Chains A and B, each alone.
Chain A
Amino acid sequence: MSVPAMDITNWIDSPEYKELNFARKDLVINPAKACQPLGALICALGFEGCLPFVHGSQGCTAYFRNSLSRHYREPVGAVSDSMTEEAAVFGGQANLIEGLKNAYTLYKPGLMAVFTTCMAEVIGDDIKAYVDNARKQKAIPEDFPLALAHTPSFKGSHITGYDNMLKGFLEGLAAPRRHATHLRLYVVPGFDTYPGNLREYKRLLSLLGVTYTLLPDYSDVVDAPNTGEFKMYPGGTPLAELQEALNASGYLFLQTYSTSATLKYIKNVQKIPTETVPMPIGVTSTDKFLMTVSQMAGKSIPAELENERGRAVDAATDAHPYIHGKRFALFGDPDLLYGLTSFLLEMGGVPVHIISTNGSAAFAKEMEELLSSSPYGQEASVHLGKDLWHLRSLLLTEPVDMLIGDSHGKFAARDAGIPLVRIGFPITDRVNLHRYPIVGYAGVLNLITMIANAFLEEKDRTSADAYFELLR
């Protein structure tokens, strides 16, 4: 087709193009999802002394490590067993066994998490049998703790991989449930790329006086102090607490969609008392989280937290004029979207376009319920299975005031001429955001600060001289 470039430039911004764009069925452009093993790797980082071991092509491991290091600006160790064409023909058993031996000897892990790339999945490698053979051949000690997970990249997304790996840890390494259980509450954060969030959960649980285990907890691994000494394994949930995980007094899941298989295993198979709350973003969800913990652990909410709540609410009422009635587009993982949407609704913000590349039908239904419960949610549409090229069409044909999502959103936001507030994964073009919690009452303060100030910066940047005022 010979169309002048200028016309095409206008055309891709047009409603007609949007229609064509939304009619596409097979091509995916700028998806807001990665693949399973990335999530499995993040999960594996959360156990103390754990070395992630990727069974499959080595390039995948390089990609995962790069992606995580760019986001966290931290070292991310993981090994691959470097399967090549020979392994494609004969299977990857020899690679796995030799790889386990080398990794065990060189990096001295306390445990390893073995998960797969799509290459190993397509050829149907039986990692369970291979690992048994590795033990028999003494590549690793007979009793060396290993967790296994199949994480095919052609099913689900990174959150599925996180879930499969976490379930793999519990199935593989947790001792059977005894009748006499501990009084320890196990708290599952879900796929959450903020060490700041994990630290906030721990702080809140400590303030409540709860005996708990965060399962898993990679906050110290992806946010390690600089002391002049590199530590390969700077922290994480201790193996002993993983081994006792089925003797929990109860489980509290802080996400819904990134841990569904693990939840089923704990609740339906192991029959452990289990509660799920939405990711505690915003005042209402944080209230719910604290009340649920309080109820499960039989602890009352301390005055200190009441004051914290009061300060967060004060910040919300102070800043409401900057957010009320503003129109938002959002993209990211389902649990994050649910949390951010409920936060915006309680601030009087108006979510309009909600893009979820990796959300399920159940997610869409719960989002609809959330949105219909608020007068501010009436304009919103949830676009399931859509990508950031769809998002761009939406932004250009039905404009909003702000985009919320990860760094990949910067192109669409720029084309639409609106600010992007960076929340999610990956954030590759700003520093330190992952260190600031977006959950709990502290998270409320941070979100209000980021969103309201972004609008105010925008106003200062774009206002004419006569309207450039000291007061905002």
Chain B
Amino acid sequence: MSNYELTKQAVEEVLSLYPDKARKNREKHITVKDEECSSCALKSNVKSVPGVMTSRGCAYAGSKGVVWGPVKDMIHLSHGPVGCGYYSWGTRRNLAQGTAGVDNFVPFQFTSDFQENDIVYGGDKKLERILREITQLFPTAKGISIQSECPVGLIGDDIDSVARRLSKELDLPIIPVRCEGFRGISQSLGHHIANDSIRDHVLGKVQREEIGPYDISLIGDYNIGGDAWASKMLLQEIGLKVQNIWTGDSTLEMLQTGNQVKLNLIHCYRSMNYIVRHMEETYGVPWMEVNFFGPAKIKESLIKIAERFDQTIQDQVQKVLDKYEPLMNKVMETYRPRLEGKKVMLYVGGLRPRHVIGAYEDLGMEVIGTGYEFAHGDDYERTFDQVDTGTVIYDDLTAVELEKLVERLHPDLVGAGIKEKYVMEKMGLPFRQMHSWDYSGPYHGYEGFPIFARDMDMAINSPTWKLVQNPWHR
């Protein structure tokens, strides 16, 4: 049987576990790429089936956790009960420079800690008092975002008017974000809501003196484990001036002046395409997608970037490519013999299910399955041409699907999230968290690739896997 047929069969077996109604839903979310790519379509960005064990999060996670959280000189208030802020406190690895409590509030969890009274009588008054307390205790905070949790929208609080009033009273940007967790069907709507709140309340509010010819913004790089710093270094090395990063180690000013650049480079398309489209339509700032994982994609991206600029940048890009090529070749020579032909299955979030494929290929590895927690159709369109025939593509994968697919397809490495990690490791399967880089990183740029290569090698070739089989049962 061909790979394609084997994989089709595995998918069929997984689907057969479902009750009829759930099966009808789930079968539209999994496909195997065929020769002609006639199977290259699947359903996405719709409600998860109840009870199937989705890995998805919520709109709050997409707004507070992803988009707003890394804006370091603002205070992001988790407005509602204590849990949401608690669980998203320091767990994303969006690193930031600065003094905690002065110009960096990333390591904090600010919550209005709703009690029953707040549910019964409403939380607006409490919110007002909290906003005043914030300005007393943290006078150097540049602004406040109010990140709504589920109850806020259900009890009919009017945080928009509180924000408006208090913003005036306190002379401080206060941004209401209606990202209640029950809105939408995943993190994705939270990204969109957060993008819109930046558009409506922040973008273009501050004018930069002048826009230099090489001024750009890096959009959708969340500085996981220092990724944005690695990306920025790379862009600076080719002569560009990274004025803003959205959002990793970011400041409010970077959001306010985000429209005042020559070009937006977007890494995580899913979470920030809304705002780059807006900047293009309203301010005429063009945007392009880039990929900074692994030397092949970095090279492709740098050449594409160079085309947008003058000879100075083009020469600089060539210099940078020449400089790093031998270094990256050395990395590949070191790891390829240990990783060549190894099969990988991925299940991640915004951009990585397609963006890291190239980096694995740089190491001679093959991605045999990939998919997204909360992607839309345009993400899958951008994915099919990155994978070979026989690759299984899945949307909003459930725990049982991953377990069964892995049992049948025998990948050598799985890259997904913390919820998947220990299931795979209990199965004796090498695993790397591909949201948090498993507490390693950065993985972006030329700085990141050697670390990525080392980590994948470490996962697959760790001698600990040889211990799993008990010798007296062999």
Which of B107, B115, B151, B187 has the most A CB atoms < 10 Å from its CB?
A: B151
Given contacts A122-B151, A229-B426, contact A30 B108 (CB under 8 A): yes
Does B55 sit at the interface, judged by CB under 8 A?
A: yes
List 7 additional contacts besides A28-B111, A118-B83; criterion CB under 8 Å.
A5-B103, A9-B102, A28-B82, A59-B187, A69-B419, A70-B91, A228-B428
Q: Name the interface residues of B220-275: CB closer than 8 Å to any CB of A.
A: none
Q: Which residues of B contact A (CB under 8 A)?
A: 17-19, 21-22, 47-61, 80-84, 86-91, 99-103, 107-116, 118-119, 126, 129-130, 133-134, 136-137, 139-140, 149-151, 153-155, 181-185, 187, 398-400, 403, 417-419, 421-428, 468-470
CB pairs A–B below 8 angstroms (8 shown): A5-B99, A63-B84, A79-B51, A79-B53, A80-B54, A118-B80, A122-B154, A228-B427
Q: A82 contacts B49, CB within 8 Å?
A: yes
Q: Is B82 a contact partner of A77 (Cβ separation < 8 A)?
A: no
State A153–B82 Cα separation when bound (angstroms): 7
Confirm or deny: A26 has a beta carbon within 8 angstroms of a beta carbon on chain B. Answer: yes
Q: Select which of A5, A34, A157 is within 8 A of B87 by beta carbon.
A: A34
Task: Please tell me if A297 contacts chain B, counting CB pairs below 8 Å.
Answer: no
Decide if A34 touches B82 in the complex (CB within 8 Å). yes
A88's contact among B17, B182, B187, by CB below 8 Å, is which?
Answer: B182
B52–A27 touching, CB < 8 Å: no
Q: Interface of A with B (CB < 8 Å)?
A: 1, 3, 5, 8-9, 12, 17, 20-21, 24-31, 33-35, 37-38, 53, 56-60, 62-67, 69-70, 73-85, 87-88, 95-96, 98-107, 117-119, 122-123, 152-155, 157, 224, 226-231, 389, 408, 411, 415, 428
Chain A residues lying within 8 Å of B129, measured Cβ to Cβ, are 25-27
B81 near A106: Cβ-Cβ < 8 Å: no
Q: Are A226 and B133 in contact (CB under 8 A)?
A: no
The CA of A122 and the CA of B150, in the complex, are separated in Å by 9
On whether the beta carbons of B422 and A59 are closer than 8 Å, the reply is no
Contacts of B185 in A (CB 8 A): 82, 84
Contact A230 B48 (CB under 8 A): no
**Contacting pair A98 B49 (CB below 8 A):** yes
C-alpha gap A396/B469 in the complex (Å): 51
CA distance A69 to B436 in the complex (A): 14
Which residues on the A side are within 8 Å of B183 (C-beta)?
A: 84-85
Q: Across the interface, do B51 and A35 meet the contact criterion of CB distance under 8 Å?
A: no
Q: Assuming the A-B contacts A64-B87, A154-B119, are A226 and B101 also in contact, with contact meaning beta carbons closer than 8 angstroms in the complex?
A: no
**In the complex, are the beta carbons of B18 and A105 less than 8 A apart?**
yes
Nearest CB of chain B from residue A408's CB, rounded to whole Å: 7
Cα distance A134–B354 in the bound complex, in angstroms? 40
Partner of B427, one of A28, A99, A157, A230: A230
* Contact call B126/A26, Cβ cutoff below 8 A: yes
Q: Is the CB of A65 within 8 A of B423?
A: no
Tell me the bound Cα distance from A8 to B58 in angstroms: 36
| Residue ID in chain A nearest B399 by CB atoms | A77
A226 touches B428 (CB 8 A): yes
Give min CB distance, B415 to chain A, whole Å.
16
CA distance A58 to B58 in the complex (A): 7
Cα separation A122 to B118 with both chains bound (whole Å):
11
A8 to B61, CA, bound (A): 31
| Interfacial chain A residues near B59, Cβ < 8 Å | 59
Taking a contact as CB atoms closer than 8 A, the residue among B51, B126, B151 that contacts A81 in the complex is B51
Chain B residues near A101: list those with CB within 8 A. Answer: 19, 51
Contact A98 B51 (CB under 8 A): yes
**Residue numbers in A under 8 Å from B419 (CB-CB):** 62, 65-66, 69, 75-76
| A12 to B139 alpha-carbon distance, docked (Å) | 10
Asked if residues A82 and B137 are in contact (CB atoms below 8 Å), the reply is no
The docked-state distance in angstroms from the alpha carbon of A196 to that of B88 is 27
Q: Identify which of B50, B61, B133 contacts A59 (C-beta below 8 A).
A: B61
Contact of B468 among A30, A85, A87, A228 (CB under 8 A): A228
